[in-house]
Structure 1
Amino acid sequence: MFVRAYLRASTKEQDANRARAELEAFAAERDLKIAATYVENESGASLARPELFRLLGDCAPGDVLLIEQVDRLSRLSAADWERLKEEIRKRHVKVVALDLPTSHMMMRGGDEDFTSRMFDALNSMLLDMLAAIARKDYEDRRRRQEQGIEKAKADGRYKGRPENTDRNAAIVKMLRSGQSWNSIVAATGASRSTLARLTKRDDTSSDKPTPKSKGQRSA
């Protein structure tokens, strides 16, 4: 049995490694060592998580997928959660979460078959419940954010997301050098609508007269 730790944060501004020491201590208390750690900054509401699926691909039957909280694994919709669970089931991976005490016994070997099956069934039910709670929390936060934005717009206070000026300046240079939009999107992660907006803005600014240097006289 190998223990594989999974660490996730939603954005690149958040520290996905924050819980690494806590997971290592949890395994050490049970005389186990984490064989590999998989870290990524991706939304828990999406199945597009390369490191999670690399972890599952590396697993052998009986390996443990260790997480800090169930919401690190899933804030998925019910349909996507079922898809992920099926991947976990068919690989015979044991999910252990620090916030799910019934899962902790999964890290012990040699349990009597009936007892093991009973705990597995109970753990699966509680895992479903916590995944549903995590999804509801995600949807509630999104709804509150949208309500806040609508109110700010109505009050004239909404300014939108701050522009990533460094990234956009680099994109403009790439556009000017003749790179294809597909290659720019792949390199920067920017949307095609962002490229269209920057292209239009750059075209407009380039049509403006060049400011005269100090001391230059008109012709």
Structure 2
Amino acid sequence: MLVRLYLRASTDEQDASRARADLEAFANDKGLRIAATYVENESGAKLARPELFRLLADSRPGDVLLIEQVDRLSRLTSADWQHLRSELDARQVRVVALDLPTSWMLAAPADEFTSRMFAAVNAMMLDVLAAVARKDYEDRRRRQAQGQTRAKAEGRYTGRPEDVGRNAGITAMLEKGVSWSQIQAATGCSRATIAKVAKRRAA
């Protein structure tokens, strides 16, 4: 059984690796071997996440996908969550989350009956927490939209300020022919940000 850590943050300004130490400590405590760590700055509401699907492609039946919280894996719509669940089930990847104690048993050897029982309980809890994470996402988006509408009406809304220094660095790397993957690794930004800078540079 190999463990693959998945670390995600929604924006470039957030530290996706923040929970790495906690995940590594959990794996060490359970005597599990970490095969790889996958880090990305992408919204949990997006199904298209390159590092998540690279993790799934690298996984073998019985491997553990270890996350800090279920919302690090999914803030997806019901349809997209079912798609991701199908991928996890097809590859026989076990999802273990630090905030879901019922999943911890999946990281330990067990007989067939116990394994099936905990897998069934964990699947149900994953569905519930994924639905809660999606509702939280939609509630926050609604509150943000309401706040922006009010701020615009009062002439106070200016939008998110651009990270001029970072974008200048991205432009310089693009001009030198540095690959997008290397730029992501160097700056921690999303591919969408690189695409925006590249489009502006080409204009």
Q: TM-score, normalised by structure 1?
A: 0.77
Q: Distance in 1 between matches of 2:52 and 2:8?
A: 9
Q: State the Cα deviation string for residues 147-194 of structure 1 (Å, max 9, x = none).
A: 0000001111112232444538987xx9xxxxxxxxxx98932189x8
Q: Distance in 2 between matches of 1:187 and 1:150?
A: 25
The equivalent residue for 1:32 is: 32
Deviation at 1:123, TM superposition (A): 0.5
The equivalent residue for 1:190 is: 196
Give the conservation status (yes or no) of the 8 Å contact 2:74–2:130.
yes
Give the conservation status (yes or no) of the 8 Å contact 1:96–1:103.
yes
Provide the identity percentage.
64
Give the conservation status (yes or no) of the 8 Å contact 1:24–1:33.
no
Give the conservation status (yes or no) of the 8 Å contact 2:9–2:72.
yes
Aligned counterparts, 1:1-219, within 5 A: 1-109=1-109, 111-166=110-165, 167=167, 188-190=194-196, 195=200
Q: State the Cα deviation string for residues 107-130 of structure 1 (Å, max 9, x = none).
A: 111x22222211111110000000
Q: Distance in 2 between matches of 1:77 and 1:8?
A: 18
The equivalent residue for 2:180 is: none
Q: RMSD of the TM alignment (CA)?
A: 2.5
Amino acid at match of 1:104: W
Aligned length: 184
Q: Distance in 2 between matches of 1:24 and 1:186?
A: 29
Q: Which runs of 4+ in 1 moved over 4 A?
A: 168-171
Which residues of structure 1 form unaligned runs of 5+?
Answer: 175-184, 200-219
Q: Per chain length, whose mean CA-contact separation is higher, i.e. which structure has more relative contact order (CA < 8 Å, sep 6+)?
A: 2
Which residues of structure 2 form unaligned runs of 5+?
Answer: 175-190
Q: TM-score, normalised by structure 2?
A: 0.83
The equivalent residue for 2:178 is: none
Give the conservation status (yes or no) of the 8 Å contact 2:45–2:134.
yes
